[in-house]
A and B are shown apart, each in its own frame.
Chain A
Amino acid sequence: MAYLELQGLQKRFGDVVALGGVDLSLARGEFLTLLGPSGCGKTTALRIVAGFEVPDGGRVMLEGQDITDVTPSRRDMGMVFQAYSLFPNMTAEQNVEFGLKIRHHPPAERAKRAAELFDLIGLSDARTRYPHQLSGGMQQRVALARALAIEPRVLLLDEPLSALDARVRVHLREEIRRIQTELGITTLYVTHDQEEAMAVSDRVVVMSRGHIEQIGSPAEIYGAPATPFVAEFVGTINWFEAEVLDGGRGEVDYRGTRLAVDAVRGRSAGERVVVVVRPEVVELETLRGGRAPEGALAGRVKAHSFLGAVTRLKIDMQDRADILADLSSTRAGAFPIGGQVVVRFPPEGTRVLNLPPS
């Protein structure tokens, strides 16, 4: 039985549909991330789980019990907010002890638990400081400790790193994952940063406009995107429309060029599909002889973006869409700007998606 389940959640705000029927389940101890752009409904879903919004339809089940109508203070969940998490009039220690104080734990016990948690987050020296004396990253760590102090059944995090500097973000997300694994606590995480989602989650739920686009492990989401939205949102991708030529051998026609694409096997000829290729999969060779060989395309390098280990080349494909190709920076020198290149898509490296309904 799933530990936490969202069944058919629906929510609208006025005319806007925030959630149009969302179904999810988390196993005990799982780290699940809701990923998507603003307005996709991820925060609404989280707030419904926390009890701060009441859904118009659907249920929230925790350990088999319907908690949809339970008030937030009785749900036994710990939440970390994006900003202003901590109570400004209390020290870090008092913040962390707050949940225990409300539950009438004796002071000695509260102090002990707080000390354990400060150890866990590595901020034992900052216990007596006030929030305004702590950096953003430290505040969020204390907020995490505060949420964990009450030993909640579920940990909820609403874009906890969005307001922090990039370097702090990377470090802190690893900390969060480490602590979560150590404690084995079921966690629901919300973010719009796909790199963050991929780095820490057991599974990722990609959402758009109140609906779930895809649920899967980070590798699945990245390597086998199920919809164009997922393909574009997660990582960078090349995509273009093509017509199936031969469903048996797996070939498509892309504006007059025949390309081999294994993934169209089994489809009928004449069907229009979306072909997606990750930049790191694209193969480049210098063009000799003025024409591209069979099954490949010709183009001209128009820009280099130096990304450190990798350089991203933007290739002008004449009357077709630009193609992005990622090469190791040492190799990229062989394809200078203005040079003519041959662009190949390995047949097994491309994916195919259905055309989105217009």
Chain B
Amino acid sequence: MAQATHPAIGPPPTATSWVNQMSWTWVGVVPFFVFALMFLIVPTGLLVVGGFQDSQGHFTLRNLLDLFQPTIASSYLISVKVSAASAIGGALIGFALAYAAIAGGLAPWVRPALMTFSGVASNFAGVPLAFAFLATLGRTGLVTALLIRLFGFNIYSTGFNLLSFAGLTLTYMYFQIPLMVLIIAPAIDGLKREWREASANLGASAWEYWRYIALPILGPPLLGATLLLFANAFGAVATAYALTGSSLNIVTIVLYAQIRGDVLHNQNLGYALALGMIVMTGLSNAAYIWLRGRSERWVR
């Protein structure tokens, strides 16, 4: 086309002025921004501001300090532990799975199958997932019963309990692992076959290849993905609520109880709690984006 790339080639014959055009442009976009303000920015902002206020609305850092109360601090700690454990576990297993399917030299149908199942499994979270694990690893669950029947081994006799930190972590991994597979797949694709072959050609063993080439290149994406998994687990509440109820004191459960019934007897502390959560997830995501930028630098 001989026309310039500027899209405003001129008003349609039936329409009118420049003003009319511009107003249509903004009509198209303003609702979106209003929506974003109303349902994302302002609500979150209010919570952040509320975290810095006392019940009279004056500025205070008291709430932030109160976050370090034993009960609340411990809830953050448990959240961090569960999220970290499921993130690291999910990252390691997810990476191994993705690598096996993509670069492991397996049959061609393995990779698409893994991707599809990962897509489904990463969305299978929340209440139904808790039910699924209760049905499988609960006291009368399928696997528990099978292990007793086949090996005479009752996992509950070892102190394992699904309704616990370990159980929740295991349940979380059900969507963390697939999520990792989906996130890390592009990075593994970016690991060119030529590098593996060149390193072998120059005399390097598999271990040396990983140490000098593959891990340095995959390091940032792996770390970034793990952080993303961490943030994902940190903000989850439905699975935990359905599985462990209020017995496991993670931040989201505390917040849930607070919203339901002001169990903290301090509205503003609740806001601070939310603020703390935003900081955790926000930092993790920011770090992920930074790491992703770094890794894209090399691999064109």
Interface residues of A (CB under 8 A from B): 50-52, 71-75, 77-79, 81, 83-85, 87-90, 98-99, 101-103, 130-132, 146-147, 150
Supply 17 A–B pairs (Cβ within 8 Å), ascending by A: A50-B201, A51-B200, A71-B200, A72-B200, A73-B205, A78-B202, A81-B194, A81-B197, A85-B194, A87-B213, A89-B213, A98-B202, A130-B298, A132-B300, A146-B202, A147-B202, A150-B203
Q: Which residues of A contact B203 (CB under 8 A)?
A: 73-74, 99, 102-103, 150
List the count of A-B residue pairs having beta carbons below 8 Å apart.
70
B194–A132 touching, CB < 8 Å: no
Task: Report how far A147 CA is from B201 CA in the complex, Å.
Answer: 9
Is B216 interfacial (CB-CB < 8 Å)?
yes
Q: Mark B199-234, 1 if CB is under 8 A from A, else 0.
A: 111111100100011001100000000000000000
Shortest distance between the CB of B235 and any CB in chain A (Å) = 33
Name the one of B195, B202, B217, B297 contacting A102, with C-beta atoms under 8 angstroms. B202
Are B217 and A85 in touch, CB under 8 angstroms? no
Asked if A102 and B198 sit within 8 Å, CB to CB, the answer is no
Of B198, B204, B205, B300, which contacts A85 at CB under 8 A? Answer: B198
- Pick the contact of A89 from B201, B204, B216 — CB < 8 Å? B216
Of all chain B residues, which has the CB nearest A72?
A: B200
Q: A132 touching B201 by the CB < 8 A rule?
A: no
How many of chain B's residues touch chain A, expressed as a range?
20 to 34
Q: Tell me if B62 counts as interface (CB < 8 A to partner A).
A: no
Whether A73 contacts B204 in the complex (CB less than 8 A), given A84-B192, A130-B298, A132-B298, comes out as: yes
Partner of A84, one of B194, B199, B200: B194
- Within 8 Å by CB of B197, from A72, A90, A102, A146, lies A72
Distance in Å from the Cβ of A289 to the closest Cβ of chain B? 53
How distant is the Cα of A90 from the Cα of B217 in the complex, in angstroms? 10
Give A77 to B198 CA distance when docked, in angstroms.
11
Q: Among the interface residues B195, B197, B199, B202, which one has the most CB atoms of the partner chain A within 10 A?
A: B202
A87: B residues at CB distance < 8 A: 195, 198-199, 212-213
Contact A77 B201 (CB under 8 A): yes
Partner of B201, one of A78, A83, A90: A78
A71-B200, A98-B199, A132-B298 known, 18 other contacts, Cβ within 8 Å: A51-B201, A52-B197, A72-B197, A77-B201, A78-B201, A81-B197, A85-B194, A87-B212, A87-B213, A89-B217, A90-B212, A98-B202, A98-B204, A102-B202, A103-B203, A132-B297, A132-B300, A146-B198
